[in-house]
Structures are given as structure tokens and as C-alpha cells.
Amino acid sequence: MSSEMYDSDSSNTNYFQPEQTENTLRIRLEIEEALEDIEMFLSGQKIVSNDEGKLVKAPIGNPKANEQGVREIMKVVRSYVNRGTVQGNITDVQMDSLMLDYKRGMANLLSFHCDEWVINRNERVDIVNFIEPFILMYISRAKDDGERQSYMATIRDRQKEVISNGQSGFSMFKK
């Protein structure tokens, strides 16, 4: 893993409540920061501020897996956590099935590759359990078409605002 530097001004961390606009839709679909948190957990890293005020990745303990293992685990995570998944329409039964598939699949993957990826056998359950709530919370947004319905509410609110302000046109992803 590289010790990639980040300007503190360009951090992806958002500490504000955005207006209900097309930017809100973009923010709701943004997943890279959360995926990076999982990757840093697996790599045994965290983001800290260095002496120059720059945000850098720093080791905080032993990695849960080697670089290849982290990459392969993240592939699985990304197959569940992506923009397409969250825009699906699933039932409770389907969500339960997806979560069971995740747990079984990840447990098997870590069991088969634990030596190759230098994973401590005693930490395999910790890895599965650390990632599971994130996946559950993410895919639950697709339950009963909830995410798309919330988009539509956001779009309707924005259209009302545009009409009441006399603005013309609406682009959902306008910069």
C-alpha cells in the first residue's frame, strides 16, 4: 500500500448537511470513502495528519491480509457495494439471502486463501464481521425500492424549487 498524501482541504470527509439538490444524489451514491475505510482496516492503516498538516495513511497495527488478499477481499466487497446494487429493488427475503451468501462466500474465500494471503486464522471471523454491517446497511437501501423512491422525492423537491425560483431546466447531475 502506498503512503498516498491527501491535502486536508481536499479530504472526502463532509461535515455539513447538503441541500436536497442533484448534489445530494451524487453524495448519496458516493461510496469510495467508506470502501477506503474497509481497505485501511484490512491493511492495518489509518489516516493521520503529518507535521505539515497533510493527511497521510499510517500503519496502526498488523495488516489483516497481504496486498493481494486486500485486493481480492475488496473485489468481493465491491460486488455487493456499488452504485448498481443500491439502486436495485429487493425484498426482505432477497436481502437475507444476499447476506447469507456474503457470509458463506467470504468465509470460504478467507479459508481457502488464508495462508496465501497471510491471514491469521483467528482473525477470519473478525474480517467477515467487520465488513458485514457495512454491506447490510448499504444493500438495505435497495429494500422495497427505497433508494430510488428517495431519489424521486429529492428530484420532486428540486423541481418545485426550480419552478418557484423561476429557473429553467433541470439536470440531475449538473456541476
Closest CA to 95 of 138, 151, 125, 147: 138
Residue 58 belongs to some domain of the structure: yes
Closest CA to 110 of 156, 150, 64: 64
127-136 residue pLDDT tens: 999 999 999 9
Residue 71 belongs to some domain of the structure: yes
Number of domains the chain contains: 1
Cα 159 from chain centre: 29
Q: For residue 82, what pLDDT is reported?
A: 83
Q: For residue 97, what pLDDT is reported?
A: 92
Q: What is the chain's alpha carbon radius of gyration, rounded to the nearest angstrom?
A: 19
Residue 175 belongs to some domain of the structure: no
The one-letter amino acid at 171: S
Q: For residue 122, what pLDDT is reported?
A: 95
CA dihedral 83, 86, 87, 88 (to 10 degrees): 130
**What sign results for the dihedral spanned by CA atoms 169, 170, 171, 175?**
positive
Q: Give the separation between CA 73 and CA 71, rounded to whole angstroms.
A: 6
What angle, rounded to 10 degrees, do the helices at 124-139 and 32-43 form?
A: 170
Residue 172 belongs to some domain of the structure: no
Residue 173 belongs to some domain of the structure: no
Structural domain of residue 81, as residue ranges? Answer: 5-164
Query: Residues 107, 128: contact at Cβ < 8 Å?
Result: yes
Query: Residues 68, 117: contact at Cβ < 8 Å?
Result: yes
Residue 174 belongs to some domain of the structure: no
Reported pTM: 0.66
Q: For residue 21, what pLDDT is reported?
A: 53
Residue 101 belongs to some domain of the structure: yes
Asked whether residue 155 carries a pLDDT value surpassing 50, the answer given is no
13-67 residue pLDDT tens: 444 444 445 555 555 567 788 899 999 999 999 888 889 989 888 899 899 999 9
Q: Give the separation between CA 13 and CA 33, rounded to whole angstroms.
A: 8
Least confident residue range of 62-66, 81-85, 121-125:
81-85
Residue 68 belongs to some domain of the structure: yes
